[in-house]
Amino acid sequence: MEIRIGIVNSPRELGFETSQAAAEIEQSVASALESDAKYLKLTDEAGKLYIVPTASLAYIELGTEKTRRVGFVA
């Protein structure tokens, strides 16, 4: 699934692919914001760790969990 994170006062967004489910990511974001955590930690498909300050979050966009089809459709 694709994740795009908007950062306050930054013209670019952070985007990466992850194997986590949308509900799992939504839960971790909600719990970080509700508990006033300083950072949000997410990992991508390659195992890289992304640490984003919660005070700088503008938005988080979650892509669809559908797998892309490869090949031609007749």
Structure confidence by residue, pLDDT tens digits, 23-39: 999 999 999 999 999 99
* Cβ atoms 9, 73 nearer than 8 A: no
Q: Domain limits of the chain?
A: 2-62
Tokens of residue 13, six digits:
């967004």
CA distances from residue 8 to 26, 31, 46 in whole angstroms, order as listed: 20, 20, 26
3 state SS of 39 = strand
- Using DSSP bridges, classify how beta strands 49-53 and 57-62 pair: parallel, antiparallel or unpaired: unpaired
- Residuewise pLDDT in 10s, the chain (74 residues): 899 999 999 999 999 999 888 899 999 999 999 999 999 999 999 999 999 999 999 999 998 766 666 777 66
The residues facing 64 across adjacent strands are none
- Residue 67 has a pLDDT of 62
Tokens (6 digits) for 31: 């719990």
Q: pTM here?
A: 0.78
The per-residue pLDDT for 15 is 93
